[in-house]
Amino acid sequence: MRKIKESRWFAEVDMEVQFFDLDPMEIVWHGNYVKYLEVVRCALLDKIGYNYPQMKQSGYAWPVVDMHLRYVAPATFGQKIRLRADIVEWENCLKIDYLITDAASGKRLNRATTTMVAVDIASNEMCYVSPPVLMEKLGLQ
């Protein structure tokens, strides 16, 4: 996995690790990181004005078609963590890089990427180029 690229389209969310996110080893269960990615991805999509309701209204669904996570260090109960998402590709897909760190020290806990593609809701066909609405929301048109 490559180094996290920062972009002009980013969002950060601080949160505290909850007890229900832990596994029997008393660290965050690996599957819950996917939920954390969704939390910060929604904050990012809200920031550009193109979250899931706006996507649907524009006639496109944007399913996640690829996801990679790299676990560096565990998160524990009560730990304050910072979630960051950066849009790094947008022409043919929506690729987002993520970084999860300890909020106090900045120590890296996890890094990840997701790739979403536009699917025309009416035809249920995947678009090989991102639709103009995404470029508009990113301020590129």
Query: What CATH number does residue 92 fall under?
Result: 3.10.129.10
Q: Is residue 4 part of a domain?
A: no
Q: How far is CA 12 from CA 66, 84, 85, in A?
A: 22, 4, 7
pLDDT digits (tens, 9 = 90+) for 20-66: 999 999 999 999 999 999 999 999 999 999 999 999 999 999 999 99
pLDDT digits (tens, 9 = 90+) for 100-117: 999 999 999 999 999 999
CA–CA separation, 136 vs 138, rounded Å? 5
Contact by Cβ (8 Å): 77, 62: no
What is the predicted pLDDT for the residue at 141? 78
What is the predicted pLDDT for the residue at 102? 98
Task: Read off φ and ψ for residue 123, nearest 5 degrees.
Answer: -100, -15
Predicted confidence (pLDDT) at residue 2 exceeds the cutoff of 80: no
Task: Read off φ and ψ for residue 106, nearest 5 degrees.
Answer: 80, 5
Contact by Cβ (8 Å): 44, 87: yes
Contact by Cβ (8 Å): 50, 61: no
What is the predicted pLDDT for the residue at 3? 55
Domain count, the chain: 1
What is the predicted pLDDT for the residue at 5? 61
Share of the chain above pLDDT 70, in %: 96
Q: Which of 67, 59, 69, 62 shows the shortest CA–CA distance to 92?
A: 62
Rounded mean pLDDT of the chain?
A: 95
Residue-number span of the structural domain to which 102 is assigned: 10-137
Q: Is residue 32 part of a domain?
A: yes
Share of the chain above pLDDT 90, in %: 94
What is the predicted pLDDT for the residue at 1? 47
Predicted confidence (pLDDT) at residue 4 exceeds the cutoff of 60: no
Q: Is residue 2 part of a domain?
A: no
**At 7, is the pLDDT very low, low, confident or very high (cuts 50, 70, 90)?**
confident
